[in-house]
Every structure is written in C-alpha cells, then in structure tokens.
Amino acid sequence: MSRAVNGILLHASAVALDGGAVLLLGPSGSGKSDLVLRLLHEGWRLVADDQVAVTVVAGAALAAPPPALSGWLEVRGLGILRDLPVTAPVPLRLAVELAARENITRLPVPARIAVAGIDLPALRLDPFGAAATAKLTTAYRVVRGEAALVAGAFA
C-alpha cells in the first residue's frame, strides 16, 4: 500500500453504480480488470483500474483514479484502453476480495474490512464465475438496503 496525496493508493480496481462504489481487491492476475470490463458492459461506471486513490472526507472513503491512469483499463489479450469515462470521486460502499471458487464459503458470515480507516462490508467473490457480475450487483444492492438477506454475508 502506498500513500496518495491526503490518502492511500491501493493496488485495486473500483467501479461505481448509483452514486456508490465497489472496491475490487486481489493480486495481479486475480481478475480485477476482467471483472471491471464485464461490469462496464452491464451499466457500471469505471472509477479506477489497477490503482485506486482513497481519501477520507466527512467520514466517507472516496475512491478515484490516480491522475496518470484516469480512464485507463487493461484488457488482457487486447491491450490498454484509454479515455474511458470515469466517475470519481465516489464513496466506497463495499469491498470485494477476489478469490478462487474453492476458497469461497457457500454461506459466508458477515465480514468487514478497513479501507483508509473506514469500515466497509466485505465479500469474497470468484471473478471468473458465470454469475460474478450478477452476484456483485446483488451484493451491492443488499448493502444499499435495496434487497435483503435472511442469512449470509450481510445478514
């Protein structure tokens, strides 16, 4: 983790929908950019790819791209796209740790992660699963109070 001006710089990606953002965490090659590309095709907006600058303002962790990478998205096997529309800064609402399917609990217990000192609900997700974008969108709707769980990650 590096320091950004008045915040931190994370090796992560972030996407936004309806005024909030999801932080995608995982090592290189874990599927962050691949998942971002699929989410963009489902109506999400790019915040940042590969590096996310997080600052805290009025008790909220705000995500934005570092200026040098704003609007860029790496598409493995194709290249680096540039000049994509960016939504930023935007408050983080959910942190998603990308993991292989075998490392994901079928019925997870609630988890949280601190990002720049702000506690966020957290979830593990297989980014390459066929339903990955639907699961992420549903999780986001749950943390926003637009859907409810009776058991699981946010119950």
- The catalytic residue positions are 11, 32, 50, 106
CB 10 within 8 A of CB 52: yes
**What tokens were used for 34?**
């691949």
Residues 6+ apart with CB under 8 A from 78: none
CB 51 within 8 A of CB 65: yes
Buried b (16+ CB within 10 A) or exposed e, 29-64: ebbbbbbbbbbbeeebbbbbbbbbbbbeeeeebbbb
